[in-house]
């Protein structure tokens, strides 16, 4: 149920039925016509721009058209108490009491699905995909939570979603990781001093992995890295991915599928994907120009296979082979995305770190080529997280090596605060994570303020000895709302639009922002009861009236739906 969509459809149907009377030659399928929430200075429930849009399209004065449409709506739609023409031709509409009761009851009868924008897409969301060479760091947390909540949001709307982790378990970084473990094992087993090197991983977690491998392979001598490499790679990856899975679980995240790059190589998927592109004439042998900033004399001109990514909107064509003829990382990624395309997903979403922005165009080009433009890839970049405490940049221990781990963060702040605050700004801007703020029990801590609103609602129901899930409907008699209740109700009506926009634009940050606004209105309403007895919810142990109970219930409905999508708990008491 979405009152904006419902009334847009009703108004559009009325215009269509009276098109001749309105002298409208071209309705343009009502493209650009919207019903929105009017600015706060206008005391109305809805605002429609139909007179502006159709007036311009048909070269009719919008005010004249607005007067005609206003008359039609008054005569044919009995849902509105007041209709006003505002500005250059907006229609501001205030719902009648009977229409308000009808819409309130619709929400109360469909609590679980309120806000749902029914869809049936098939999505693959790949997120985190951190190199499996150690535990997650703070930067990974933001992308992890973004991907998980986006999956929850799409599932809420009825879509099928696979949450996927791509394990980069092939290449030089895995060799160096395994070598780091090998030298730590030599240190533990034979007292050989571990000497830090540029390509080695220095974190204490490497020591722990080494100890576990020694304990599970007591007869292994580990006297030669090459001889032990296969075992070291397998065991080191197992324990490292165990650390990552553990970190994710503590953040409330579980992936549906883990895809191994090594298996991609072993199954010859790279050759298959390149041959497919060759077959469609998207690959050629040739020479690339030197990268920007590199002097021609330093550039080795080598003939190699090149993907014609400029055919699909990229800035330049891309090499599929290195100078020595081996495949580039991009070739591996093409093969991985071919596998995704072959798994019949309609939509692919890659959640990337801030350092991957320059990679987006080429991989989008590859998916377009592989799927013949049938599969849509959307890449969402999560920018950096900056930690602050006492108003200053905060540096936690770097026991894990050269980064601040997710485990360090979880020791300072609980999972709920991390999930909520990591989504408190759009993914494409840097996020300031203030420890002082998220530990406060005040309005300045958004997650606390939203949770506290739900706890307060539960306290009301405990006083009334009622169940929050108890069925409640308003009788179709006169509805009396005070100013606070009107503001809350109008905010509740916005919830389906928030869900729709957040889903369509892949912007889950809209949800915590909205929930904080709703909680702020509720707490203000609560506080008014301490100042004015007419605003008190409860009198002599009983609810003031059924309308007040309905409004409070509506707040709980939206807060529960929203926090469930965010994966944040809602305590009944605080």
Any domain includes 426: yes
Any domain includes 343: yes
337 and 426 in one domain? no
Residue closest to 334 by CA, chosen among 308, 302, 374, 365 = 365
CB contact at 8 A, 351 and 126: yes
Any domain includes 463: yes
165 and 79 in one domain? no
256 and 172 in one domain? yes
Instruction: Give the CATH number of the domain where residue 63 resides.
Output: 3.30.1360.70
406 and 392 in one domain? yes
Any domain includes 185: yes
Domain final residue pick, 95, 118, 140: 95
Domain final residue pick, 95, 112, 144: 95
373 and 461 in one domain? no
Instruction: Give the CATH number of the domain where residue 532 resides.
Output: 1.10.730.10
Q: pTM of this prediction?
A: 0.91
137 and 209 in one domain? yes
338 and 274 in one domain? yes
CB contact at 8 A, 158 and 427: no
Any domain includes 302: no
CB contact at 8 A, 511 and 517: no
Residue closest to 189 by CA, chosen among 210, 175, 205 = 210
271 and 410 in one domain? no
Any domain includes 101: no
234 and 162 in one domain? yes
555 and 513 in one domain? yes
pLDDT tens for residues 120-154? Answer: 999 999 999 888 988 888 888 999 999 999 999 99
Q: Which two tokens stand for residue 553?
A: 């219930």
341 and 313 in one domain? yes
Contacts of 69 (CB under 8 A, 6+ apart): 11, 15, 22, 50, 51, 91
555 and 489 in one domain? yes
Domain count along the chain: 4
Instruction: Give the CATH number of the domain where residue 136 resides.
Output: 3.40.50.620
Any domain includes 297: no
Tell me the residue range of the domain where 376 lies. Answer: 267-280+309-382
> Which H or E run contains 336?
helix 329-342
Sheet with 122-126, side-by-side order of all strands: 257-260, 160-167, 122-126, 347-353, 376-382
Task: Give, for all 574 residues of the chain, the pLDDT tens digit.
Answer: 899 999 999 999 999 999 888 888 988 898 999 999 988 888 999 999 999 999 898 999 999 999 999 999 999 998 999 999 998 989 999 999 999 999 999 999 999 999 998 899 999 999 998 889 888 888 889 999 999 999 999 999 999 999 999 999 998 999 999 999 999 999 999 999 888 777 888 888 999 999 999 999 998 999 999 999 999 999 999 999 999 999 999 999 999 999 999 999 999 999 999 999 999 999 999 877 766 655 555 666 778 899 999 999 999 999 999 888 889 999 999 999 999 999 999 999 999 988 888 889 999 999 999 999 999 999 999 998 888 888 888 775 544 455 678 888 888 889 999 999 999 899 999 888 888 888 888 888 999 999 999 999 999 999 888 888 888 888 877 688 888 999 999 999 999 999 999 999 999 999 999 999 999 999 999 988 777 777 788 877 788 788 889 999 999 999 999 999 999 999 998 7
CB contact at 8 A, 319 and 288: yes
Any domain includes 519: yes
Q: Which residues lie across from 124 on neighbouring strands?
A: 162, 348
């Amino acid at each position: 149920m979405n009152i904006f969509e419902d009334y847009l459809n009703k108004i559009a149907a009325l215009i269509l039925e009276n098109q001749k009377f309105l002298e409208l030659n071209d309705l343009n399928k009502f493209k650009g016509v919207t019903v929105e929430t009017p600015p706060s200075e206008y005391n109305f429930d809805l605002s429609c721009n139909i007179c502006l849009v159709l007036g311009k399209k048909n070269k009719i004065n919008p005010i004249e058209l607005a007067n005609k449409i206003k008359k039609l709506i008054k005569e044919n739609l009995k849902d509105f108490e007041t209709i006003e023409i505002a500005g250059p031709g907006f229609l501001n509409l205030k719902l009648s009491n009977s229409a308000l009761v009808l819409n309130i009851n619709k929400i109360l009868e469909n609590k679980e699905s309120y806000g749902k924008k029914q869809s049936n897409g098939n999505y693959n969301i790949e997120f985190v995909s951190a190199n499996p060479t150690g535990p997650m760091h703070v930067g990974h947390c933001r992308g992890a939570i973004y991907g998980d909540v986006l999956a929850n949001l799409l599932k809420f709307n009825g879509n099928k979603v696979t949450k996927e982790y791509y394990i980069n378990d092939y290449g030089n970084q895995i060799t160096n990781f395994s070598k780091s473990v090998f030298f730590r094992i030599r240190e533990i087993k034979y007292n050989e001093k571990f000497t830090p090197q540029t390509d080695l991983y220095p974190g204490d977690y490497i020591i722990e992995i080494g100890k576990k491998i020694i304990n599970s392979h007591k007869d292994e001598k580990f006297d030669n890295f090459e001889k032990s490499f296969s075992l070291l790679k397998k065991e080191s990856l197992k324990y490292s991915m165990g650390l990552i899975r553990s970190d994710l679980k503590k953040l409330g995240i579980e992936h549906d599928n883990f895809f191994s790059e090594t298996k991609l190589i072993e199954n010859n998927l790279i050759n298959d994907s390149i041959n497919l592109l060759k077959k469609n004439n998207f690959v050629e042998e040739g020479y690339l120009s030197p990268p920007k900033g590199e002097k021609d004399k330093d550039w080795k001109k080598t003939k190699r296979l090149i993907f014609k990514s400029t055919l699909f909107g990229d800035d330049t064509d891309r090499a599929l082979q290195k100078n020595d003829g081996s495949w580039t990382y991009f070739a591996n990624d093409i093969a991985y995305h071919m596998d995704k395309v072959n798994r019949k997903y309609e939509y692919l979403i890659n959640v990337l770190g801030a350092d991957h922005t320059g990679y987006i165009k080429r991989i989008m080009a590859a998916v377009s080529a592989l799927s013949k433009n049938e599969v849509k890839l959307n890449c969402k970049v999560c920018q950096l997280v900056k930690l602050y405490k006492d108003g200053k940049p905060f540096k936690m221990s770097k026991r894990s090596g050269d980064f601040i781990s997710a485990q360090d963060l979880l020791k300072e702040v609980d999972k709920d605060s991390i999930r909520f605050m990591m989504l408190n700004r759009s993914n494409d801007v840097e996020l300031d994570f203030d420890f002082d703020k998220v530990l406060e029990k005040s309005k300045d801590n958004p997650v606390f303020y939203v949770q506290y609103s739900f706890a307060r609602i539960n306290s009301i129901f405990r006083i009334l000895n009622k169940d929050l899930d108890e069925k409640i409907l308003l009788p179709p008699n006169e509805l009396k709302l005070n100013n606070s209740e009107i503001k809350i109700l109008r905010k509740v009506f916005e919830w389906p639009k928030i869900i729709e926009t957040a889903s369509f634009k892949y912007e889950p940050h809209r949800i915590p922002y909205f929930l904080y606004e709703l909680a702020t209105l509720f707490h203000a309403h609560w506080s008014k009861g301490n100042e004015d007895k007419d605003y008190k919810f409860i009198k002599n142990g009983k609810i003031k009236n059924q309308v007040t109970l309905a409004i409070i219930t509506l707040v709980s409905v939206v807060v529960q739906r929203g926090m469930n999508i965010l994966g944040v708990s809602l305590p009944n008491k605080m």
